[in-house]
Chain A
Amino acid sequence: MSAPQHRIDTSPKVSDEIRQTTCYMCACRCGINVHMKDGKVAYIEGNRDHPVNKGVLCAKGSAGIMQHNAPSRLRKPLLRTGPRGSGEFREISWEEAMNTAVGWLTEIHETAPHKLAFFTGRDQSQSFTSFWAQHFGTPNYAAHGGFCSVNMAAAGIYTMGGAFWEFGQPDWDRTKLFMLFGVAEDHDSNPIKMGLGKLKERGARVIGVNPIRTGYNAVADDWVGITPGTDGLFILALVHELMRAGKIDLHYLAQYTNAPVLVDGETGLLLRDEDGKQLVIDRITKKPTPFDQKGVRPDLSATYRHAGVTHRTVMAHMADRYLSPDYSPDAVADRCGVPADRIRAIAADLARVAFDEAFELDLEWTDFRGESHKTMTGRPVSFHAMRGISAHSNGFQTCRALHVLQILLGSVEVPGGFRFKPPYPKPVEAHPTPHGQGRPGRPLAGPHLGFPRGPEDLQLDEKGKPTRIDKAFSWENPMSVHGLMHMVISNAHAQDPYPIDTLFMYMANMAWNSTMNTSGVIEMLTDRNDDGGYRIPRIIYSDAYSSEMVAYADLILPDTTYLERHDCISLLDRPICEADAAADAIRWPVVEPDRDVRGFQSVLIELGARIGLPGFLNEDGSPKWKDYADYIVTHERRPGIGPLAGWRGEDGDQAGRGSVNPDQLDRYIENGGFFVEHIPDNAQYMKPWNMDYQDWAVKIGLFDAPQPFLFQLYVEPMRKFQRAAEGHGDQQPPDHLRDRLKQVMDPLPIWYEPFEQTLVDTDQFAIHALTQRPMAMYHSWGTQNAWLRQLHGKNPLYLPTKLWQQHGFKEGDWARVTSAHGEITVPVAHQAALNENTIWTWNAIGKRKGTWALSEDAPEAREGFLLNHLIHELLPAKGDGLRWANSDPITGQAAWFDLRVRIEKVAAPAEAQPAFDPIKSPVPTGPTTLKWKVGA
């Protein structure tokens, strides 16, 4: 038949209305256009005007429609009726749920607030949840940073006043060489993909350093399949080569870093004047001079002899250390699994691009010393890293090493390099110290999580015992600035340092993939005392979905989906700024819940008022806020500074600072759900030292006074802890930690072996085992999502060619994988683009039967598995009777990636091992067919 032509409508109506809000399918917080038909969500796309995603949207974001309508959504508050873990609940009214929670919590608040442990998982309201916990008076609050990537955050802030995460970005438009370390598909999800796209468009070079060549490493021009846990050694070999060749930015180091600052030859502390200002030797006067004086020319190589002691610069100490042959490429090559020539080639290319391809931008600016500059020097080399290098017990020092490398190249906050996003950079001194000393019925004096300056900021009682249940800010991990969520249940069960009464958690799947030692934690959650009561007496949990954790709680407060709630993505917390703008955003209910559920933050507001927390009541005793939306608009953290920076003031015409505007949320909704305030052109770079930036930051309320600072190659607070371990000062660590603190609290970056491999027989456990999340699921609460699970419904254990052949594996085979702690039996698959001693799998694909509204024969519940069973929250026993956390000894970050295993081929079992009994589901299983179409 002849070519047919079919009349079709090429201009159908797209939707009745577009409602613009913020995605919550991961931590990226893109702007989304929610197309509505007949009051229902019909289609979700990226918001082109939004500063984060500029219109694009990832798989998670587009699958939000399945998340919003997921059959696993909880429907009503639940009270446990069967034993913990059975999944037997009775649906209760919100009145009964709130009365129950208020009853439990009021007693604790009034008698012993530390008996509440309140930890939040995928919380995007930490500024509010921490405020609540602070007013409750418990020292036991944190979000999930401790088991995620605190090393990256802490190392960045202590070194350069800001971190990678989503708090900065390469200068994507100008960088010519981009080095990406480790799994980094988590932060910042879409902006990194967009940035890689820009690099590819320009033909810029991307080097991926990762044992696994997937995702971003697949498009890297060059791949370095490094041995896990050796990134720090590799980076310090680059530092060695660059310093040795003099390929370091001397002007930058002298002017903007503490490289020229004098280190006290006796104490190792930095020399300061009477005002506490760090001292340098001025090359003109040859005299010790405060670093910030106008006209000072800090000397990098000077020595200063005074009262019989010789004081040398930080740079001289760095030369002593890093020029040593111990850090030469030849010395590290075998341990890193990277040939020495390759390390030298990378060092040479970093030098070539940073210095031979340097350029000037015609941007006039004035530095903090009052000197004007006609241009800014660009060094087009940039770096990014996240969990990959940080989730090791040597992660903090590795992250520090990477930042020191960036700074030596002069490539931070310069054109072509790495740029911070407001409110960063800001020095450690601008952050609070930790607070934790509570009194019954009273709030803490300040926020829980802060940045210790030295031993005086540790959270210890008069006997030196940790005051926090997770032992954050103790000698075991002095700079644990995000807490240690992975130790809460373990410590509460061990009653070490003390027993608690109530564990209160939000969106944290601690009975499954969000915990180390899953089987052990399940036992801890269900373990009973001799009197029959639970060892952890009460557990309250809030989640929107039927996750594994639900069955292990006593009282469930069902949350809304992200399209049914108010939220603020705040400059007080983790905003959505870009390197050239400050920005924040909201979520608002684009649809109302069709279930008896409530936004968790609004529930906390009501709980706070009913418990009688002082910050939550007006003077007449009435509740201060109606709900979270009311808090977002009317709360002021400092006069004129609230959760949202946009449209402040009575007339809504003020940015950053201004009185409360009752119509603020409406203005946000009119503007597409977000607010942007651009940074002036000449304040776009050199921010820590650029007075135009500093003044702008004060104007919009990021700080109350300019706070220029030097990058800290040498981190003095670390030296203070190290010095205490050497026996100086009143605050002394316990003897069993002394040697470790002396080693690891080094104020200049070092590398040491990851702990697990120093405690197990590495001939027996020769293999490194890693996990990563697929890009289509990273940081998503939605691996059960009907569309996404069709992409990643199975997670074989991927083996490199060497191991595949050595064990004679074939497609469809299974392996038993054994660590010092446990074993699993799982399906395997071959991957050639993999470090030859490393195996890995996708994390959090495995599901417990009876959860997430999946059928019990779902592949996630049969073949899916967790590597978590092999990873203990404690290190293998050393025979000293002590409980040593499997964490970074500086920050307490969970050392997930230190895992060592052995594998053997076994007959395929009926399902992946260990297998667990099904949980009785609080929701029905999802439908057997979907034919999704909302409109006619």
Chain B
Amino acid sequence: MTDLPAQTTRKLGLVIDLDTCVGCHACVISCKGWNTENYGAPLSDQRPYGDEPMGTFLNRIHSYEVQPDTGPAQTIHFPKSCLHCENAPCVTVCPTGASYKRSEDGIVLVNEDHCIGCGLCAWACPYGARELDQAEGVMKKCTLCVDRIYNENLPEEDREPACVRTCPAGARHFGDFADPNSAVSQLVEKRGGIDLMPELGTAPVNKYLPPRAKDRWDDESLLAPLLTPVAKEPSGFLSWLDKALDKLPGGSA
């Protein structure tokens, strides 16, 4: 079994805004494109042009419907990738030390050279965030684009995960949660960011910003004065127009 570091210097991760995510899958495909070409084995696709196509993805979007007590049903788009847990059960279950959590930044990675493809980590992960690549037989997971975020061959502004860089709605944010003043920590503070399934004790680093309350139609009594008719009869409307125009700057009055 594999040990977790006692603590990590930084806690890098993502905060994902469920109020803003439109479910466009941009992050899913950008992730696929970067990570099939870069770190480790390619993200293979089985039957890519056939029945039941099934490939390896490090990030997927699930869509759920929620029925509140009152009001219409809501649709929630829920992007999900490795949450880089502080108490990552996928690491401690690994028999070879292939799965590990980096002490410097908390990223959970798989050393593919040591991975035997036993699948224990995927079984241990309560979030379903790991996928065994069917072609290579090694476990694949989100690396937080570890080969981007420190990459000196990239301009500094591009040193962020591919999913964050590409998100059109700006629903994904990357940063250090160990720093209470970081933008991501502040966002979590301001918007009431939450852990996914905190009761499991995994202490995920990634956070989610909950959707804002929806379908709260303003009490009509507050707005009703705005719609007070200017005249009782349609014909009265034109004389109102006349008077109202007089009152405008440059009117004849």
Contacts and interface: CB of A to CB of B under 8 A. Distances in A.
Contacts of B42: 931-933
Nearest to A777: B25
A4 B32 contact: no
B227 A351 contact: yes
Contact of A931 (B5, B30, B44): B44
A1 B28 contact: no
Given A3-B4, A244-B229, A793 B53 contact: yes
Given A324-B234, A929-B46, A929-B48, A214 B226 contact: no
Interface in A762-809: 775-776, 784, 786-791, 793
Contacts of A927: 48-49
Given A197-B169, A301-B242, A854-B49, A4 B97 contact: yes
A250 B46 contact: no
Interface residues of A, number: 115
Contacts of A324: 234
Contact of A300 (B17, B157, B245): B245
A789 to B, nearest CB: 6
B226 A62 contact: no
A930 B169 contact: no
Contacts of A345: 217-218, 220, 223
B37 A934 contact: yes
Contacts of A932: 36-37, 42-45
Interface in A174-217: 189-190, 193-194, 196-198, 200-201, 203, 213-217
A833 B234 contact: no
Interface string B66-102: 0100001111110000000000000000000100111
A223 B215 contact: yes
Contacts, number: 333
Given A214-B75, A832-B65, A341 B49 contact: no
B74 A58 contact: no
Contacts of A853: 49
B75 A218 contact: yes
Interface stretch (A6-14, A390-398, A603-611, A711-719): A6-14
A315 B241 contact: yes
A243 B22 contact: no
Contacts of A95: none
B151 A301 contact: no
Interface string B41-60: 11111111111111101000
A933 B36 contact: yes
A914 B20 CA distance: 39
A112 interface: no
A859 B53 CA distance: 9
A12 B49 contact: no
B139 interface: no
B241 A213 contact: no
A586 B227 CA distance: 50
B220 A59 contact: no
Contact of A11 (B6, B151, B248): B151
A2 B250 CA distance: 82
B8 to A, nearest CB: 10
Contacts of B123: none
B171 interface: yes
Given A323-B234, A929-B48, A245 B228 contact: yes
A522 interface: no
A802 to B, nearest CB: 12
Contacts of A831: 65
Interface stretch (B124-132, B159-167, B177-185, B197-205): B159-167
A222 interface: yes
Interface in A849-885: 853-855, 857-859, 862
B186 interface: no
B23 A215 contact: yes
Contacts of A309: none
B195 interface: no
A25 B44 CA distance: 22
Contact of A13 (B1, B153, B214, B248): B153
B230 A244 contact: yes
Nearest to B21: A219
A63 interface: yes
A461 to B, nearest CB: 46
A348 B45 contact: no
Contacts of B19: 200, 219
Nearest to A53: B168
B192 interface: no
A5 interface: yes
A53 B49 CA distance: 30
Contacts of A56: 26, 165-168
Interface string A166-178: 0000000000000
Contacts of A816: none
B29 interface: yes
Contacts of B157: 48
B154 interface: yes
A894 interface: no
Contact of B237 (A220, A323, A348): A323
B239 interface: yes
Contacts of B4: 3
Contacts of B43: 932
Nearest to A924: B49
A934 B162 CA distance: 18
A300 B241 contact: yes
B77 A775 contact: no
Contact of B48 (A53, A344, A786, A862): A786
B151 A241 contact: no
Nearest to A801: B73
B244 interface: yes
A42 interface: yes
Contacts of B97: 1, 4
Nearest to A219: B22
A297 interface: yes
Contacts of A319: 234, 237-238, 241
B247 to A, nearest CB: 9
A14 B103 CA distance: 25
A529 interface: no
Nearest to B3: A3
Interface string A317-346: 001100110000000000000000110110
Interface string A912-936: 0000000000000111111111110
Given A5-B102, A222-B217, A786-B45, A65 B33 contact: yes
Nearest to A861: B51
Given A1-B1, A46-B166, A932-B36, A250 B25 contact: no
30 contacts: A4-B111, A55-B165, A57-B166, A58-B166, A196-B20, A197-B20, A197-B171, A201-B170, A213-B74, A215-B22, A215-B23, A219-B169, A222-B214, A301-B245, A319-B241, A323-B234, A324-B234, A349-B223, A775-B24, A784-B49, A786-B49, A790-B57, A831-B65, A832-B67, A833-B73, A833-B74, A853-B49, A858-B51, A929-B48, A932-B42
Q: What are the 3 tightest A-B residue pairs by CB atom distance, in nearest-first order?
A: A926-B49, A348-B223, A832-B73
Interface of B: 1-6, 17, 19-26, 28-30, 32-34, 36-39, 41-55, 57, 63, 65, 67, 72-77, 97, 100-103, 109, 111, 114, 135-136, 146-147, 149-154, 157, 162, 165-171, 211-212, 214-218, 220, 223-224, 226-230, 234, 237-242, 244-245, 248-252
Interface of A: 1-6, 8-14, 42-46, 48, 53, 55-63, 65, 71, 189-190, 193-194, 196-198, 200-201, 203, 213-223, 225, 241, 243-247, 250-251, 254, 283-284, 297, 299-301, 315-316, 319-320, 323-324, 341-342, 344-345, 347-349, 351-352, 775-776, 784, 786-791, 793, 831-834, 853-855, 857-859, 862, 925-935
Given A245-B227, A301-B238, 17 more contacts: A1-B2, A44-B33, A45-B162, A63-B29, A201-B170, A216-B22, A219-B22, A221-B212, A297-B245, A297-B250, A344-B227, A348-B224, A791-B28, A859-B52, A931-B41, A931-B135, A932-B37
